[in-house]
Amino acid sequence: MKNLKNKAIITLLLVCMLFSVLLTGCTGNESIKRIQFSDNESGTTKTNVDLKDSEITGFDARALETENSLKLYKVKRAEFAHGGEEVNAIAKYLKVDYADMTYNEEKNEISYDGSRNITFTITNGYRVVYNKFIDEYKMTHNITATNEELIEKGLKVLSEIPFLEGEYVYASMGERTFSDGVNEYVFYKSCTFRRKINGLAVDGNGSCTVGFTNDGLAMLTVSYYTYEEMNGKYDIISLEEAGEQLAKPQLFKTSQGNVSVENIAKLEISKCELVYVNEYNNGYDTIQPFYRIKGTLYSEHIENLDRIYTDSFTMYIPALE
């Protein structure tokens, strides 16, 4: 009789576990606050756009192979305390005398404005910004390093900062130019990198940027977050299923913002990726997977203009089932 009772209890537990999995659609057992991007109608970033009247081409549901489920991670923002090891370590790495730094308790800001034309700030305990003054004479010289060399140098800088953990991947390149009235020079370039977790890049909060001139390191920004693996895996939709939402992405970004959504005639997709998104600063403590889809958009023919405007775009579609 006792054995029958035990079996009944075990059976009931198994049924409850199965029901829980079916109900949540995942094997993970921690509740999640789903990321909803804040309403945004700026020139280059928009939420919940409607592209149903635009032609969408180039989408290939077979372009990306993904698993049916993914690990999720709790995210926390780093706290660099005044006088702490991390602050001392990065100050030493950047050859800044920590003894000369000041602390503003009201702003929670550590800063240095040095005689060597260097500024160094740590704001809100997690964001590090370093800038080195660039002489105007140096602006009339093109940076000689190739993009590949700068990416390699940038990754090396991040690997040498003592408290930065994990792998970083290259995301984008920026540049600054100077004109002397005759010629235009690219005297500075910066590489932005993103943390890589579970084989996927982490978009949103938490990028690091490293800038260079011919004299070497000229700028560094570090926004540092830590990640803790959650229990179980969480089901995700396939790229094919995500394709059904192309006309209504949750987030839509353009590079220049020179074409309004209603004037987009065509979107030509060139790349589909699965990424994690970190929205910690907007109240989400879990990084979550999204399909990041990139390409080129084309405007309709605009009256009195003899050209069609183009721009690059990036859209985000939630991948959690």
Note the pLDDT tens digit of each residue in 18-29: 344 433 445 566
Class of domain 75-229: alpha beta
Q: Is the pTM of this model over 0.85?
A: no
Return mean pLDDT, the chain.
Answer: 85
Q: Any idea where the domains of the chain sit in the sequence?
A: 1-30, 31-72+232-318, 75-229
Confidence tier at 12 by pLDDT (50, 70, 90) = very low
Does residue 255 have a pLDDT over 60? yes
Lookup result for tokens 């059976």:
11
Q: What is the mean pLDDT of residues 167-180?
A: 95
Q: How far apart are CA 163 and CA 87, in angstroms?
A: 9
Note the pLDDT tens digit of each residue in 124-147: 777 888 888 887 778 889 999 999
The distance in angstroms from the start CA to the end CA of the chain is 43
Does residue 33 have a pLDDT over 90? yes
In 3D space, the residue among 93, 301, 119, 314 whose CA is nearest the CA of residue 204 turns out to be: 314
Q: How far apart are CA 91 and CA 77, in angstroms?
A: 20
Residue 23 pLDDT: 38
CA dihedral 114, 120, 121, 127 (to 10 degrees): 180
Note the pLDDT tens digit of each residue in 273-284: 999 999 999 999
Residue 179 pLDDT: 92
Asked if 269 and 59 count as a contact pair (C-beta separation under 8 A), the reply is yes
Note the pLDDT tens digit of each residue in 188-241: 999 999 999 999 999 999 999 999 999 999 999 988 899 999 999 999 999 999
Rounded alpha-carbon distances, angstroms, from residue 50 to 145, 158, 246, 262, 317: 42, 40, 9, 9, 13
Query: What is the amino acid identity at position 174?
Result: G
